[in-house]
Structure 1
Amino acid sequence: MEEKTKRKMISPDVLRRLKKHLKWLIPVLLAVCIGVGFLFRLPAGQQAAASATYQTAATETRDITKSLTGSGTLEPADSYTVNTLVSGEVLSDTFEEGDQVEEGQLLYTLDSSNASSSQTQAQNSYSQAQSNYQQAVNAKYPSADMGGTVSEVYVKNGESVSAGTELVRIVGDNNIYMTFLFPYASPSDFYVGQTATIYIGNFDGTTSGTVTAVSSSSITTNTGLQAVSVQVKAPNPGLVTEDYTAVASIGSYTSYGQTAINLSSSSVITAEVSGKISGLNWLPGDAISSGERICTITGSTADSQVESARISLSNASTSLENAQDSLDDYTITAPISGTVVTKNAKAGDNIEGGSDSTLCVIYDMSYLEMTLNIDELDISEVAVGQEVQITADAAEGQVYTGVVTNVSIAGTTSGGITTYPVTIRIDETDGLRPGMNVDAEILLDSAQGVLAVPSAAVNRGDTVLITADSPSAANALDQEAPEGYVYVSVEPGISDESYTEIISGLQEGDTVAYLQTSSSSDSMDFMAVGMIPSGGGEMPSGGMPSGGMPSGGPGGF
C-alpha cells in the first residue's frame, strides 16, 4: 500500500509552551498514578482493563515520506528599484511596463546641460593641474629633451644653482658638418660617398670625411669666382665645436677659404628652479636618450613646488571624477536583466532626485524564491539540495518542484523560540508570480516498499507489543506483558509520525498492539502513550512502593 503523509509543522510558540508544560505535568501525573496504586493495588490486568483498551494493526508494506510543511510568499530571483539623485526633465525613455530589459540597457535620458558645463570646466582644470605638476617634476628632475651625445657638462654635484643655470649640452650625434666651395671645378668632378680630407684649425693632422651632397651647378663666390658647393660629413675628432673652421681636399681640388663647422642639432638643458645639484653622473661623450634624467635639484623651493602641484592635481582629479559621475547620473541604465513591473516616469516629466524618486521597478523572474522559517527542533534535518514540493491556491492542481538553496545559520529568537530562514528556489514557474502565497513541503527522507507499523505502536526503548500468535513472538523479550501479548525489540527507521519504518524485529503477518485509552480525547491519548514509561520501563529515581504501578501494556496504567 502506497501512502505519502506529511508532518505538519506545529506552531513554534505552541510547541514551546507544550514542552514547558510537560516539565511539570509529567511529575504530577506520575504522582497521581502512584497514589492510585497505593489506594487500590489492583492487579496489572485489572488495571489495564479498567483504564484502557488495546488497538491492533497488522504490519504492512508501504512508502513513507518524512517531510516538513509550511507557507510563504514568492519573491523574484532579484529585484531593483531604479531611482536617481539628480533632478531634471526626462528627455527620453526607451521601454514600457511589462517589457524585458537587459542589464546595461538605456532606460532614461535626463537633461544634463548644467552637468555637462560643470564637467567641461572640471576637465580643463584637471588638464592645467596635470601640466603644472609635470612642470614641477621636470624642474626638480631635469631630463634630456633629445637623444644624442653629451658634449659639455657645466655643473657638478653639490653645486648650488639658480633658475636659468646651464647644466649640460646635448648634440644629436658625434659628427661635424661642413659645406665647402671648390673653384675651377665642375659638379661632375665630385660624387656622393667620395672621400674628403679635412684640415681643422688648431688641430694637428687631418680627419677623413664623406661627401653627402654636390650642387648641380656652379655658384659665384664673394670674390667673383665660379665654384662648386660640396657638403661633407665627418666624425668629430675631439671636442670640436662650432667655433672651429676647416679646409677640405677632394681629389685634386682644394676648397676655397675657411669653412664654418656645424654640429648636429643640439640642446642646452638649464635649471628651472634653484637648489643644489645631486645625482649628476654624465660625462662629455656619453650617449643619452630623450627623457633620461640628468640630475636632481634638491631644496625647499623645488620640493614645495612639486608637493603643491601634486595636491592641486589630486583635487582636480577628484573634482573631475565627481563631475563625470554626476554627468553619468543623467543617463540611467538597467542595473539588472528582467521585467519592468512598474514604470513611474516618462519622457517630458520633471523629476525631483532623491532616494524616494522611483522611476521604475525591475524584477528578475528567471526563477522564484521563497523563505520558510524552520523551528530549531527541525532545522538540523534540513539541508541544501533537498527537494521541495510547492502548491498554490492560485494554480490549483499544479505541483511545482523546488530545491533548498540555503539554510541560514543565523536564527531569529522571539519569545524564547528560535527559527532559522530556509531559502527555496523554484525554476519552473509557469502560472506563479511574485507575491503569491504558496505551501511548501520539504522532503526530508523517504523509503519505498518498507515494512511499517503505526508510529504509536513503537515504545520508548524501541520495543513493540505484538499478539502472542504473531510470527515474531518467537523473539519475545523477558518482560511482563498483558495477557495474550508479548514485547519484542525492533530497529525503527524513518517515521512520518503516522507510520514508522521497521528495519528489523518484525515481519509480515505480525500484529502490533498499542494503547487506546477509554477517553477519546486526543490530548489524553498523547499523555497516556507518550508520558508514561512503556513496557515496564523504569520509574524516575526513587522507584515506587510494592504493589504500585503495574508494568503491563505500552504506556498503560
Structure 2
Amino acid sequence: MQVNPELDPQTEPETAPPAFQPPKKKPKWLKWVKRLIALAVAAALVVFLMRSCTGGGGTVSANTYRMEPASMQDLTVSVTGTGTIEPIHSYKVTTLIKGEILEAPFEEGDVVHKGDVLFRIDSKDVENSIEQAQIAVRNAQLSLESAQLSYQDLLDNQADQKTDLQIKSTETGVVNKLYVDVGDTLAAGAPIADILDRDHMKLTVAFHAVNTTSFYVGQSAVIKVDGSGESLNGTIDSIAATNSVGPGGTLVRNVTLVVDNPGALSDTSTGTASVGGVDCASGGTFAYAASGQITALTSGKLETLTIHEGDWVTKNQVVGSFEETDMATQIENARIAVENAKNAVQNAQLTLKNAQDSLENYTITSTIDGTVIEKNLDVGDNIDGTSTAGSSAGVSYPAVIYDLSALTFDVSIHELDINQIQVGQKVEITSSAVEGKTFTGHVDKVNINGVTTSGTTNYPVTILLDESDGLLPGMNVSARIIVEEQSTALCVPIEAVEQENGGTILLPGADAVYDKDGNLVSPGTIEKRTVTLGRNNDTYIEILDGLSEGEQVLIQNPVGSSFMEMAMGG
C-alpha cells in the first residue's frame, strides 16, 4: 500500500539543505600586487638584456647566447622555386576545317618528323570553291581590259574633243544671221551663224566648149552687169571639168568668175562676161563669193560667243566655245571604272588564294619532330571544325605530339630576386618522383612580363634540363638556381648579424668566462662591432671587413615567454 507522505502522521519531514554560501572573494589589492611584481621582473629582464646587447658593462648568463666562429668556407648564393616538367616543344593539332578524315597514317607512340602527314581531310567542297574563284578571276580580268580600252579611247579622242569644243568660222565674211546665245544647250550639227562674203561676188556663165580649151584659172575677164551696163574686171575662179548641152543643142562649159563688189551687186543681180575677147554663150546670176553656216561639231552647253550679227569674221576664226564639263566627267568616270575593275580583279585573286590556302589546310602535317602522345581521331571520323576531339586534361585535340629530346619547366621568381637571375646560370633540380637524385639544368629564358598579385610581382623563368633520365612531363620539381659561388669567403651564421644600419655583430667581452673545455660560461661585457657585409644565402653571410677568421661571434638564443604569461595572467 502506498502512503502519501503528506497524510501519514508517522512520516517525518526531511531536513532542508543549508543555503548556498558564495566563496569569499580575495581582496583586489592582492591581485594587483601579483601583477606589479610580474611586471617588475619583466622590466628588469628587459633592461638586463639591453645592457648586455649594448656593452653596458653587465654580465649575461651563457644560456642567453651561443658562440660560433667566423670561418673561411665556400659560399653558394641561390634562388629557389618549383615548377612542372614540360617537353621543350609540343604540338597540339587544331583545325577549323570540317570534313571526313580520309587518311591518318600514324599511331600513338610513333615518332614523327616535321612535315609528316597526320590527317588528310575530304576537300571536295573547297575544290569546287577554287574552280568558281578561278572563273571569277577570268571574268574580272576581262572587265578590266574593257574598262581600260574605254578609258584609253576617251584619252585618245580628248584632243579631238577639245577641238570640237571650239566654234570656228567656216568662211570669211559678215555674220549674216546668229541662231544662238551664251548658255544655250546645242546638239551636234545645230546651226550657230550664217556667214556671207559681200565684198566679193561670183558669176557663173556658159562658154562654147570649143572656146574654153585655152582658158585657165586666174585669167582676166570682163563682166557686164545687166541693167546698168557697168563693166567690171574680174578673173576666172574655176572651169567646169565637163561639158553640158546649151541652147540650140550646142556644147557649152561653165566658167565661174570672181569680181570685187562695187557695192551695188547682190545675189539677185545678173550679168554676162567675155574672156580674151570671146563672149559667153549665155549669162548668169551673181552670188556672194563666200557664204556658209557655222554649225556645232559636238553637243553641249554654249559657254562663250564672241560674235554678233553684222560682225566681220575670217575663215577658222574662233567665235565661241562649249563647256568641257561633260568630257571631263566622262574621262573621270572611265578612270574610276578602271580602278573599280582593278579592285575587282584583286578581290577575285584574293578569294582564289584564300581558297587555295584553305585547300592546304585539308592536309594537316606535324610542325615538330616528336612522339605521338595522343591520337583521338582516325580514318572515317569527322572533324567538326572546333579544333578539338577526344579528351585530355579537360582539353581535347585530334592528336598531341611531344618533342622529348629535352625537358623544360618554368619557375616563378620574386621581384626582389629576379635581378640576380641570368640566362645560363646553373640549376640543381630535384623531384619527389625520383628520390635520391639531383638533376642539373640551366636558365634558358628570363621573362620580364611579370604577374602581379596582391601588390607583389613574380616573373617566370624558364629552365632547361641538361639531363632528364626518369623525369616525365607533368612531374613536379624543385629548382635551386645557383646565382653565385664564392670560394674561401669569411662567413658567419646569418642570424649572428643585425643587418639594419649596415651590419653589426656581438662578440664576447675580454672578461668572458669559459669552462675547461672552452665552452662559454658567461659572455662578460659584450662587444658590439660594425662589420661590412657581402653576399649571403639562407644560412651564412659573408663578412668583408671588421672581423677575422676564428673570432667567436655571439648568437642570441630564443628567450622563453613564461614570465610574460605570468605578468599578464592573474
* TM range, smaller chain: 0.5 to 0.7
Match of 2:533 among 492, 499, 521: 492
Q: Which residue pairs with 2:387 in the alignment?
A: 355
Q: Deviations over 1:378-404 (max 9, x none)?
A: 333333332211112233333222222
Structure 1 or 2, whichever has the larger Rg, is 2
Counterpart-to-counterpart distance in 1, 2:510 and 2:45: 34
Q: CA deviation at 1:409?
A: 3.1
Counterpart-to-counterpart distance in 1, 2:138 and 2:158: 35
Query: Where does 1:8-27 land on structure 2 (aligned, <5 Å)?
Result: none
Q: CA deviation at 1:361?
A: 1.4
| 2:552 is the counterpart of 1:511 | yes
Match of 1:337 among 369, 387, 395: 369
Q: Deviations over 1:274-298 (max 9, x none)?
A: 99xxxxxxxxxxxxxxxxxxxx997
Please list every run of 5 or more consecutive structure 1 residues that lacks an aligned counterpart in the other structure: 1-31, 144-153, 163-273, 276-295, 471-480, 525-557
Q: CA deviation at 1:47?
A: 7.1
Q: Which residue pairs with 2:349 in the alignment?
A: 317
SS in 1 for 2:538: coil
Q: CA deviation at 1:438?
A: 0.6
Q: Deviations over 1:512-551 (max 9, x none)?
A: 2222244399xx9xxxxxxxxxxxxxxxxxxxxxxxxxxx
SS in 2 for 1:429: coil
Counterpart-to-counterpart distance in 1, 2:82 and 2:376: 32
Counterpart-to-counterpart distance in 2, 1:39 and 1:447: 39
Q: CA deviation at 1:56?
A: 1.0
Distance 1:156 1:486, change over 3 A: closer
| 2:167 is the counterpart of 1:128 | no
Match of 2:464 among 425, 445, 451: 425
Match of 2:43 among 36, 44, 69: 36
Q: CA deviation at 1:376?
A: 2.9
Match of 2:159 among 153, 157, 160: 157
Query: Where does 1:188-267 land on structure 2 (aligned, <5 Å)?
Result: none
* Kept after mapping to 1: 8 A contact 2:508/2:523: no
Share of identical aligned residues, percent? Answer: 39
Counterpart-to-counterpart distance in 1, 2:411 and 2:524: 49
Q: Which residue pairs with 2:182 in the alignment?
A: none
Query: Where does 1:468-487 land on structure 2 (aligned, <5 Å)?
Result: 468=509, 483=524, 485-487=526-528
Q: Which residue pairs with 2:115 in the alignment?
A: 104
Counterpart-to-counterpart distance in 2, 1:410 and 1:33: 56
Q: CA deviation at 1:112?
A: 1.3
Q: CA deviation at 1:100?
A: 2.8
* Kept after mapping to 1: 8 A contact 2:508/2:524: no
Counterpart-to-counterpart distance in 1, 2:49 and 2:556: 19
Q: CA deviation at 1:301?
A: 5.8
Q: Which residue pairs with 1:299 in the alignment?
A: 331
Q: Which residue pairs with 2:480 in the alignment?
A: 441
Q: Which residue pairs with 1:452 in the alignment?
A: 491
Give TM-score, length-normalised by structure 2: 0.52
Distance 1:390 1:336, change over 3 A: same
Q: CA deviation at 1:84?
A: 2.2
Give TM-score, length-normalised by structure 1: 0.53
Counterpart-to-counterpart distance in 2, 1:330 and 1:300: 45
* Kept after mapping to 1: 8 A contact 2:388/2:398: no
Q: Which residue pairs with 1:386 in the alignment?
A: 425
SS in 1 for 2:132: helix
SS in 1 for 2:350: helix
Distance 1:47 1:128, change over 3 A: same
Counterpart-to-counterpart distance in 2, 1:347 and 1:129: 40
SS in 1 for 2:437: coil
Counterpart-to-counterpart distance in 2, 1:131 and 1:375: 66
Distance 1:93 1:484, change over 3 A: same
Distance 1:493 1:315, change over 3 A: closer
Q: Which residue pairs with 2:129 in the alignment?
A: 118
Paired residue type of 1:428: E
Counterpart-to-counterpart distance in 2, 1:501 and 1:466: 17
Q: Which residue pairs with 2:99 in the alignment?
A: 88
Counterpart-to-counterpart distance in 2, 1:395 and 1:353: 41
SS in 2 for 1:346: coil
Distance 1:98 1:498, change over 3 A: same
Paired residue type of 1:98: G
Counterpart-to-counterpart distance in 1, 2:48 and 2:551: 33
Paired residue type of 2:96: L
SS in 1 for 2:388: strand
Distance 1:300 1:459, change over 3 A: closer
Distance 1:35 1:517, change over 3 A: closer
Q: Which residue pairs with 2:506 in the alignment?
A: 465
Match of 2:406 among 346, 367, 390: 367
Alignment length, in residue pairs? 341
Q: CA deviation at 1:50?
A: 6.5
Paired residue type of 1:505: G
Counterpart-to-counterpart distance in 2, 1:484 and 1:134: 107
Counterpart-to-counterpart distance in 1, 2:121 and 2:478: 45
* Kept after mapping to 2: 8 A contact 1:64/1:496: yes
Q: Which residue pairs with 1:258 in the alignment?
A: none
Q: Deviations over 1:455-478 (max 9, x none)?
A: 2222344333334569xxxxxxxx
SS in 2 for 1:157: helix
Distance 1:308 1:66, change over 3 A: closer
Q: Which residue pairs with 2:445 in the alignment?
A: 406
Distance 1:366 1:468, change over 3 A: same
* Kept after mapping to 1: 8 A contact 2:91/2:400: yes
Q: CA deviation at 1:360?
A: 0.8
* Kept after mapping to 2: 8 A contact 1:51/1:517: no
* Kept after mapping to 2: 8 A contact 1:366/1:427: no
Counterpart-to-counterpart distance in 2, 1:402 and 1:320: 50
* Kept after mapping to 2: 8 A contact 1:59/1:452: yes
Q: CA deviation at 1:365?
A: 3.3
Runs of 4+ displaced beyond 6 Å: 32-35, 38-43
Q: Deviations over 1:10-43 (max 9, x none)?
A: xxxxxxxxxxxxxxxxxxxxxx999826997899
SS in 2 for 1:97: coil
Taking only aligned residues, the RMSD between alpha carbons, in angstroms, comes to 4.0
* Kept after mapping to 2: 8 A contact 1:51/1:518: no
Match of 2:65 among 54, 62, 75: 54
Please list every run of 5 or more consecutive structure 2 residues that lacks an aligned counterpart in the other structure: 1-38, 165-297, 300-327, 390-396, 512-521, 565-570
Match of 1:75 among 53, 61, 86: 86
Mean Cα deviation higher: 47-56 or 494-503: 47-56
